Structure 1
């Protein structure tokens, strides 16, 4: 029998069904007593996994559906200062099953994008040198075609779209990082805590990075509520968030997470300089670009901390698994570049409209 083909509309309907399930009282008991209430959603889930990660992978509608469903589950790990009833099923066994089903297929597909077998052969000295070499290369990379578009061509309509998509992460700056800070005290933990504290403005809301992002939105009369522009967020950006949730939730992935965070902090200033250059060319106010300036300044320092005081010491401490730092670094770069390309495509579409 040929595989069922679902349209974007069908996936939207399945996602709405899933959204209703999220807030259903006694979800696990109801699913056990009446499995038919989830049959339509589960059929869509199976179809989407095959379409996104199977032999003929590449269905963007399927990718979008899966990443949105996964994010709706993952976001329950954070508190949003909203209706408490929304957390009714935060420890649901059924939701955990859905999450695990998506993650298993998705992560296997993601790992095929990299030569993991070669990375596994690296010894500690090679890992440390690879981290230093990557850090040097990513600190100030050559301008790509997308970078030149942002700096030299993007209009205010495109800039607004960039802000809308960026608000998805920018308004909850660093939240997922909280999950990896607990545990034994040492120099690595202390450095990670310093990074986290600076992201949170040293406990002052006026200095928190998300406040600077909200100020940029306010300059354009845009909505400053977290997730306001969720429907504009490309699946490639959602995948970065979901990947972050996974790595911070599973302590076995601690090295992989910190390799990824090292890339994020090292490469961040180069990306933010593109957005800052666009804002300056558009002659926007200081408030409309303050977030970029802050990040360029602070992330240059954070990148050095992550390399010298987190990644390199972790390689020494876990010599047999040090290669996982490179896996995390390379995977974060790959997924970040994919997300960046999606943001540029969305900005171009906004300009055409």
Structure 2
């Protein structure tokens, strides 16, 4: 494992005149952070050699301002910050890889980086939602039911029609490459909230997880079906093989779920979001199936989506009727957080979906 850390050239950081501010070299800062993650004792190294992280720290500071304080946040800044967050959060899951990659999983420095990004990012995300209105909802149960009913029968939008009617075979390969960042480790976030006191809500969530994990049989695990789709196109089935293709908007949805499952105080928000995901998922998956069928591709090329159309219709009903609605009764004062989680998942999911289509279209033009 590498023990050296790249120092960004001075021309990329502080040697220029203050009258000529220059954006950080985010790609170089990202590479430097990858090296930092694999240092033998990161906290001690940072404490004794702070210069090693000075350029990375400068990049973080500029990116936070550019992404969350400027009216039109920098795409490069958003991408850099979400990549850094993902690399830290990824240490919370075990990937059956080199054990030394987890040397710094409880690093105080990494935690401080994560917290410094998450706070302004979450404030920025919350500003996209009318939280005050959600806090005043007169009937949270009805709000959830209304949203679910609308999303089950959502009319096709421009993104849906593109996936169904225009996406090429090359575009579909690009879609699979992006989707593999989550599809190959599917339901891992759900597994992180199941420990604790047993009750009917927990049992339903466990049923969802067990089905996602194929009842403990690898050939039936949902991620296995995703790997089969990749193999059908001779694509890599290694997790994160296509990390560099993933738009920041997609990474943000993943990092958001890491945050919500890390903090049990956000249990309601997470389950609201999961309810949306399970309710609305089949609509998107049908778009993929329709696109694959139009292209004349094999059954194996869409097996994961077909499976999810069937199972997520059931999971959506479970999440609404056996998780979200009972949680309203259990936490009446905080139940609005379920709707917040639902609305945030919808908003962030729509944003990610649009970014994926833009990325596909760009790949098709090249």
What TM bracket, shorter-length normalisation? over 0.9
Contact 1:66 1:102 (8 Å CA) reproduced: yes
Which structure 2 segments of 5+ residues have no match? 1-17
How many equivalent residue pairs?
A: 349
Q: Counterpart in 2 of 1:308? A: 321
- Using the size of structure 1 for normalisation, the TM-score is 0.97
Q: Counterpart in 1 of 2:83? A: 68
- CA deviation vs aligned residue, 1:177-218 (integer Å, no higher than 9, x gap): 111000000000000000001000000000000010011111
Matched, 1:35 2:50: yes
Distance 1:305 1:152 in 2: 32
**Displacement of 1:43:** 0.2
Q: Counterpart in 1 of 2:220? A: 207
Q: Counterpart in 2 of 1:220? A: 233
Q: Counterpart in 1 of 2:181? A: 168
Distance 1:334 1:264 in 2: 11
**Displacement of 1:115:** 0.4
Over aligned residue pairs, what C-alpha RMSD do you find? 1.0
The structure in which a higher percent of residues are helix is 1
**Displacement of 1:33:** 1.5
Q: Secondary structure at the match of 1:320?
A: coil
Correspondence for 2:68 among 53, 63, 66: 53
**Displacement of 1:134:** 0.2
Q: Secondary structure at the match of 2:106?
A: coil
Q: Counterpart in 1 of 2:104? A: 89
Distance 2:57 2:143 in 1: 43
Distance 1:96 1:103 in 2: 10
Correspondence for 2:210 among 194, 197, 211: 197
**Displacement of 1:57:** 4.0
Q: Counterpart in 2 of 1:115? A: 130
Q: Counterpart in 2 of 1:267? A: 280
Distance 1:257 1:244 in 2: 7
**Displacement of 1:56:** 3.1
Distance 2:342 2:22 in 1: 36
Distance 2:132 2:20 in 1: 33
Distance 2:72 2:157 in 1: 27
What does 1:239-250 correspond to in 2, within 5 Å? 239-250=252-263
- CA deviation vs aligned residue, 1:221-253 (integer Å, no higher than 9, x gap): 100001100000000000000000000010000
**Displacement of 1:5:** 3.8
Q: Against the structure 1 CA distance between its residues 93 and 278, is the aligned structure 2 distance closer, same or farther, given a 3 Å change threshold? A: same
Matched, 1:13 2:28: yes
Q: Secondary structure at the match of 1:324?
A: helix
Distance 2:20 2:199 in 1: 53
Distance 2:64 2:177 in 1: 28
- CA deviation vs aligned residue, 1:9-67 (integer Å, no higher than 9, x gap): x1000011111110101111111122111110000000000000013342000000000
Q: Secondary structure at the match of 2:129?
A: coil
Distance 1:139 1:3 in 2: 52
Q: Counterpart in 2 of 1:287? A: 300
**Displacement of 1:3:** 9.1
Q: Against the structure 1 CA distance between its residues 36 and 85, is the aligned structure 2 distance closer, same or farther, given a 3 Å change threshold? A: same
Which structure 1 segments of 5+ residues have no match? none
Contact 1:11 1:62 (8 Å CA) reproduced: yes
Distance 1:262 1:342 in 2: 22
Q: Against the structure 1 CA distance between its residues 348 and 240, is the aligned structure 2 distance closer, same or farther, given a 3 Å change threshold? A: same
Distance 1:228 1:4 in 2: 35
- The structure whose RCO (Cα within 8 Å, separation 6+) is larger is 1
Q: Counterpart in 2 of 1:188? A: 201
- Using the size of structure 2 for normalisation, the TM-score is 0.94
Contact 1:161 1:350 (8 Å CA) reproduced: yes
Q: Against the structure 1 CA distance between its residues 277 and 31, is the aligned structure 2 distance closer, same or farther, given a 3 Å change threshold? A: same
